[in-house]
């Protein structure tokens, strides 16, 4: 495999912005920046709790749009999924089930939980990463997809 678009500076800046936004949300709202929890809170809104969740999610979408509009997304048009849309939807649903069972998602445990030195988040993050490694091995090496 050849890495075509290795961009350490934008990745570093993006990671710093994610960390800053997670810290700001914790400081200003006392909330963890876990996407599954934020979206889940929209399904059962509590008075005074809807605005920050909506703004956070709108910011996620607008950030991606702004990145593309400013021309930073140039050169990634060739990236295409190597599996069917049906399999992608199924994978998304499984991620949602896993986030529910694991009491949080990769962003909540991996970014915020580890920063708070949560043992539960460490175990969850190791599980996410291990599952991802096994999945990539099975799909690429055993199934021969995307190799």
For residue 103, is it within any domain? yes
Q: What is the pLDDT of residues 52-64, one digit of tens each?
A: 888 888 988 898 8
For residue 61, is it within any domain? yes
For residue 3, is it within any domain? no
Q: What is the pLDDT of residues 12-49, one digit of tens each?
A: 988 898 889 888 988 988 888 888 888 888 888 788 88
The pLDDT value given to residue 75: 65
Verdict on whether the full-model pTM lies above 0.75: no
Which has the minimum average pLDDT: 12-21, 53-62, 74-83, 111-120? 74-83
Mean pLDDT for the chain? 84
For residue 46, is it within any domain? yes
CA 13 to CA 23: how far, in whole Å? 15
For residue 1, is it within any domain? no
126 lies in which domain range?
Answer: 8-142
For residue 135, is it within any domain? yes
For residue 2, is it within any domain? no
For residue 132, is it within any domain? yes
The pLDDT value given to residue 56: 87
The pLDDT value given to residue 119: 94
Q: Please state the domain count of the chain.
A: 1
Question: What own/partner pairs with CB < 8 Å and gap ≥ 24 does 24-27 have?
Answer: 25/52, 25/56, 26/112
């Amino acid at each position: 495999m050849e890495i075509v678009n290795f961009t350490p500076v934008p990745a570093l800046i993006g990671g710093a912005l994610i960390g800053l936004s997670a810290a700001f949300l914790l400081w200003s709202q006392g909330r963890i920046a876990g996407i599954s929890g934020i979206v889940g809170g929209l399904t059962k809104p509590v008075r005074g709790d809807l605005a920050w969740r909506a703004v956070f999610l709108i910011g996620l979408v607008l950030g991606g749009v702004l990145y593309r509009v400013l021309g930073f997304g140039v050169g990634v048009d060739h990236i295409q999924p190597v599996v069917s849309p049906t399999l992608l939807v199924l994978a998304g649903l499984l991620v949602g089930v896993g986030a529910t069972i694991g009491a949080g998602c990769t962003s909540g445990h991996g970014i915020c939980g580890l920063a708070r030195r949560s043992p539960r988040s460490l175990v969850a993050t190791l599980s996410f990463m291990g599952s991802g490694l096994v999945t990539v091995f099975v799909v690429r090496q055993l199934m021969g997809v995307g190799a």
